[in-house]
Chain A
Amino acid sequence: MFRAILFQQWRWTRLIVALSTVAAFAIPLFSVRGSAANLEHKEAASFLGDVQSWGVLYPTLAGALGVLLAITLWTPDHRGRHVYALALPIPRWRLVTYRYLAGLTLLAAPVIGLTLGTLLASGTASLPTGLHAYPLGLSVRFALAAVVAFTLFFSVSSGTARTAGTILGAVAALVVFQVLLSAAGSEANILMPIVNVLLTAPGPFAIFTGRWMLVDV
């Protein structure tokens, strides 16, 4: 059953998985293009700046990959009003578990692509004294971020359109309420504490924040 679901999901998401794997492999290689052992004044700082600029792409790719994969996995069900799933001779929890595990299996391809890319980039880059490459740390971080994004949107997408609408509506209502508060001259800020809780450790999205550097001091 799992293999059948995995194959079916692969057919649905192969374009997303293939493109993200290529991107995940290429980004580290592009990020260390300016490396050289004898970098001069300002060049080493500029090189680190470049690596940091490229670093923005890792969490972006991890987030986008997780979101797109999760949504794509449930789109046929929403379109078919869950009739296909109802027709299967297994309980819902088992179907969802298989779907989730198959999704995680598909996520492995871009993660492996990124790991190979970072290892290759670190091996070929010539770094000045004091700079180090962190290929495995970056790959683990990318994997965790992609899993977090995938899991969250998998959970939202596995419900009905009404569930997704309720969640998005609640977020929009918070934003609108904050705008109204500010317009009324109030100094109260209800949005920032929530954002802080989500984005700082031990929040669920803390993994996305901070410096994503393949090369650092």
Chain B
Amino acid sequence: MCDRRAAGGVLAALLTATALSGQALDSARLHHRADSLLALWREANTFAEVQQTLREDRRGQVGRQTRATAALRGENPVKAGDLMVIADFPDSIPLREAARRAWAILASTYAGEATVLVSQPIRLAVMFANRQPITVLSARRIRKNVSTEELERTLLGLAGQPRVDRRFSSWLGNTVRPVFDTAAEQSAVYVQLVTAGAAAATRCFEGSVAGCSAALQLAEDSEFYLTAFDALQRRTAVAGARSRQVLEPTALATYSLCVDHHVDSACVGFLHGIGAGQVPQPLSSQARNLLVSTALSLGGVDAYDRLMADSTAPVIARLERAAHAPIDKVVGEWRARIIAARPAVQGIPLRGAIVTLGWVGLIAIGAIRSTRWRLS
């Protein structure tokens, strides 16, 4: 009996040891595989970086060659800073002024990156009646009577925007865009602050920098609706986010608790379930882009390069680094600029009223002074 027990114990011990040694072998093998995968990933990354560098270098070389040959071929390129525009009839459009303005915006927004953006010259073909066929197919067609502003926008569009890392673009909702018409964009954000309907935006409008930070979602918090909205606004967000008909039973119960029974925890749970991307944002990407623009203008030269230097850093730290200022100062400056850009009230200025009355007087005198009775 005892022998049997001892044999059983030995057998069990052997089995356990085999299993353990097997497990140890498996983990070692998996570790080895993971290490080799990591090495492969690093190698692939290096190759990708080399490829990217070569591609950029090739593009740069092509750009340099095109730039060098443009003058030799008598294409009369128009240059502003590092921006070169080759148009087939450059004097028929306001190209020099538009190029100058476009480069000023690009350089002030993107600093060193602006040069990379415009490494390739921009080609334009001016369209008018009876012109010879366009030979350069890549050239962008431009109307002969294009205005300076339209041309400037076109040049900015053709230059494009530098890529932005994922973290920053998820917060911003886009790439960093140059602000073309600052006053108009700031006025639009002013209207957003008033009409957003988010408690944080209203606090911001009333003067709270913390409210502005919450409305701009600077904390990069996926549960921004806890600080940006109040309970009523969360309920409205839930009601607007989904239709009752498309919900599954469990989600419908939460939805009903939130919308019908006004239970805020249910609203929070529902918003958490649908994800931050589906929740209406307190302020648009335009507002956040203007904040970036404010930080860049405060930071001066190379601000954009500092903004993009560390793609792993939080947005707040990056904006502070770019602006050379604490975030409260950047946000405060942004708010001051937005409030100062309040759209003009719709009443008429005194000068406008006087001019209108002048027209009225002129026309009325014309009617009264006509002395002849004309019967035909």
B-binding residues in A (CB < 8 A): 38-45, 48, 81-82, 85-86, 91-93, 96-97, 100, 128-132, 134, 136-138, 140-141, 144, 147-148, 151-152, 154-155, 158-160, 162-163, 185-187, 201-202, 204, 206-207, 210-213, 216-217
Contact = CB atoms under 8 A, between A and B. Distances in A.
Contacts of A216: 343, 345-346
Contacts of B367: 96, 100, 151, 154-155, 158-159
Interface of B: 128-129, 144-145, 190-191, 193-198, 202, 205-206, 232-233, 236-237, 240, 280, 342-343, 345-348, 352-353, 355-357, 359-360, 363-364, 366-371, 373-376
Given A41-B198, A217-B190, A91 B371 contact: yes
30 contacts: A38-B232, A40-B233, A41-B196, A41-B233, A41-B237, A44-B197, A48-B191, A81-B375, A82-B373, A92-B373, A100-B364, A130-B205, A137-B348, A138-B346, A138-B347, A140-B348, A140-B353, A141-B347, A144-B357, A147-B356, A151-B359, A151-B367, A152-B363, A160-B374, A160-B375, A187-B129, A204-B359, A211-B346, A216-B343, A217-B191
Contact of A185 (B129, B202, B342): B129
Contacts of B342: 217
A134 B371 contact: no
A45 B205 CA distance: 16
B343 to A, nearest CB: 6
A211 B368 CA distance: 33
Nearest to B145: A187
B236 A131 contact: no
Given A41-B236, A147-B356, A162-B376, 4 more contacts: A44-B194, A129-B194, A140-B353, A216-B346
Contacts of A131: 194
A52 B237 CA distance: 25
A206 B352 contact: yes
A39 B342 CA distance: 20
A39 B197 contact: yes
Contacts of A97: 368
B18 to A, nearest CB: 65
Contacts of A186: 129
A155 B352 contact: no
A136 to B, nearest CB: 8
Which one of B129, B233, B356, B376 has the highest number of Cβ atoms from chain A below 10 Å of its Cβ?
B356
Contact of B194 (A128, A152, A212): A128
